[in-house]
């Protein structure tokens, strides 16, 4: 989730790459004979997206992260969570890489599948975020790529021709789809937080959670690791609100908690902006503190504050955080009492009562 602002905050290298990508998209549209059908994968809110829309026959934008989707909506652009609901193929596909390479390859394959024969895909990436690696991946998929460097970024493109490697695309799609992890026995997906294994902070929190009862919320639930444990060890749960800003994470969480589907309510919400369920008996939370590539301590603080406000009088919050991150003053502003249960392995478990 992102800090409250009109447009989500990104670091300078990413911002430069987005500028290059959308500028290249505008130029390609202007050179197209007629108006092209354009798809933007991992679409970002940017002024040039409105210019692109004016130059296209149709514009489809894929974005599954609610703060980004909301920012696009503020620019008059509707976003699809996965792009599967688009009616047309694309003459031009623009792709901004994700932080996770496997997730990026997944969407590269989806973009190429939706691209018409002879259509062009364009990608841009900061050098420090793996631009050359993605260029090489595009060459593997299409057999060629045109590339140039600018502003410590690389922009590269290729056309879909007869040498397009459909078998490789299928491998990337399979690797990036929701999948059951043998060691975790839960469904997860590339790109989600700690998607391959339970993170140490969550494991520490689980080892200190008491049996819970009544109505609660898993705030920033991810793929549902905490929720599943709570249901397995707390038989007196009346209802559980699962909240996350990432649609893909919530889809996995729903799959993982299907045994308790009648007790669950799923919310794709930006906890820094949107109204959350309230008057709850308890909240559990492992708050994020990054916006893309950028560390933002205020992000977790904002989410924790909203979590505290969701509690009824006497309600409890159980949270985990990196030991050095400052949450205590936020808890002190919203709770009657709070204390640290344990500090271990670089994390701290905090319990508070409203």
Q: Is the pLDDT of residue 2 over 50?
A: no
246 three-state secondary structure? strand
pLDDT the model gives residue 5: 37
Angle at Cα 204 formed by Cα 202 and Cα 206, nearest 5°? 70
Q: What percent of the chain has pLDDT over 70?
A: 95
pLDDT the model gives residue 8: 52
Q: Is the pLDDT of residue 4 over 70?
A: no
Confidence tier at 291 by pLDDT (50, 70, 90): low
What one-character-per-residue DSSP string does 59-126 give? EEEE--BHHHHHHHHHTT--EESSSTT-SS-EEEEEEPPPSSHHHHHHHHHHHHHHEEEEEEEEEEEE
Q: Is the pLDDT of residue 9 over 70?
A: no
Q: Is 175 exposed, middle or buried (0-12, 13-18, 19+ CB in 10 A)?
A: middle
- The dihedral built from the CA positions of residue 139, 144, 149 and 153, taken in this order, carries a sign that is negative
**Strand 153-159 and strand 186-188: pairing?**
unpaired
pLDDT the model gives residue 182: 83
pLDDT the model gives residue 289: 72
For residues 45 and 182, which has the higher predicted lDDT (pLDDT)? Answer: 45
Angle at Cα 100 formed by Cα 18 and Cα 326, nearest 5°? 90
Both tokens assigned to 110:
């989806």
Nearest to 312 by CA among 342, 353, 347, 349: 353
pLDDT the model gives residue 298: 86
What are the backbone dihedrals phi and psi of residue 5, each rounded to the nearest 5 degrees, phi first?
-165, 160
Tell me the domains of the chain and their CATH numbers: 12-176 (3.40.50.150), 179-353 (3.40.50.150)
Partners of residue 311 on adjacent β-strands: 280
Q: What is the length of the chain?
A: 354
pLDDT the model gives residue 121: 98
Confidence tier at 184 by pLDDT (50, 70, 90): confident
Q: What percent of the chain has pLDDT over 90?
A: 91
Which helix (DSSP H) or strand (DSSP E) does residue 180 occupy? strand 179-181
Which helix (DSSP H) or strand (DSSP E) does residue 229 occupy? helix 225-233
Q: Is the pLDDT of residue 290 over 70?
A: no
Measured CA to CA, the distance from residue 304 to residue 261 in angstroms comes to 26
Confidence tier at 10 by pLDDT (50, 70, 90): low
pLDDT tens readout for residues 78-129: 999 999 999 999 999 999 999 999 999 999 999 999 999 999 999 999 999 9
238 three-state secondary structure? strand
Mean pLDDT of all residues belonging to the chain: 93
Is 295:287 a contact under the CB 8 Å cutoff? no
Nearest to 135 by CA among 149, 147, 153, 152: 147
pTM of the model: 0.92
Measured CA to CA, the distance from residue 51 to residue 60 in angstroms comes to 14
pLDDT tens readout for residues 198-242: 999 999 999 999 999 999 999 999 999 999 999 999 999 999 999
pLDDT the model gives residue 7: 45
pLDDT tens readout for residues 58-81: 999 999 999 999 999 999 999 999
Q: Is the pLDDT of residue 33 over 60?
A: yes
pLDDT the model gives residue 295: 53
**Strand 58-62 and strand 79-80: pairing?**
parallel
Measured CA to CA, the distance from residue 29 to residue 24 in angstroms comes to 9
pLDDT the model gives residue 12: 79
pLDDT the model gives residue 154: 96
């Amino acid at each position: 989730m992102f800090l409250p602002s009109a447009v989500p905050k990104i670091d300078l290298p990413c911002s430069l790459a987005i500028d290059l990508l959308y500028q290249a998209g505008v130029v390609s549209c202007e050179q197209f004979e007629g108006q092209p059908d354009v798809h933007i994968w991992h679409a970002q809110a940017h002024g040039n997206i409105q210019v692109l829309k004016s130059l296209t026959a149709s514009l489809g934008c894929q974005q599954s992260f609610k703060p980004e989707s909301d920012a696009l909506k503020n620019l008059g652009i509707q976003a699809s969570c996965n792009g599967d609901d688009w009616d047309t193929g694309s003459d031009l596909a623009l792709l901004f890489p994700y932080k996770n390479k496997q997730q990026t390859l997944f969407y590269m394959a989806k973009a190429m599948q939706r691209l018409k024969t002879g259509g062009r895909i364009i990608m841009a990436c900061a050098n420090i975020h793996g631009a050359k690696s993605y260029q090489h991946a595009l060459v593997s998929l299409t057999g060629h790529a045109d590339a140039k460097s600018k502003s410590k970024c690389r922009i590269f493109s290729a056309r879909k021709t007869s040498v397009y490697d459909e078998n490789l695309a299928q491998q990337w799609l399979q690797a990036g789809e929701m999948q059951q992890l043998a060691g975790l026995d839960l469904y997860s997906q590339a790109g989600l937080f700690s998607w391959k294994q339970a993170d140490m902070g969550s494991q520490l929190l689980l080892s200190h959670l008491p049996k819970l009862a009544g109505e609660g919320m898993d705030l920033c639930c991810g793929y549902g690791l905490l929720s599943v444990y709570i249901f397995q060890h707390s038989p007196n749960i009346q209802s559980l609100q699962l909240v996350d800003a990432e649609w893909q994470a919530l889809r996995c969480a729903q799959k993982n908690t299907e045994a308790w589907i009648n007790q669950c309510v799923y919310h794709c919400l930006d906890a820094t902006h949107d109204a959350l369920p309230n008057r709850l008996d308890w909240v559990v939370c492992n708050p994020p503190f990054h916006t893309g590539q950028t560390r933002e301590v205020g992000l977790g603080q904002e989410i924790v504050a909203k979590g505290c406000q969701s509690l009824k009088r006497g309600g409890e919050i159980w949270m985990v955080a990196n030991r050095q991150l400052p949450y205590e003053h936020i808890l002190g502003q919203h709770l009657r009492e709070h204390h640290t249960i344990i500090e271990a392995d670089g994390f701290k478990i905090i319990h508070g009562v409203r």
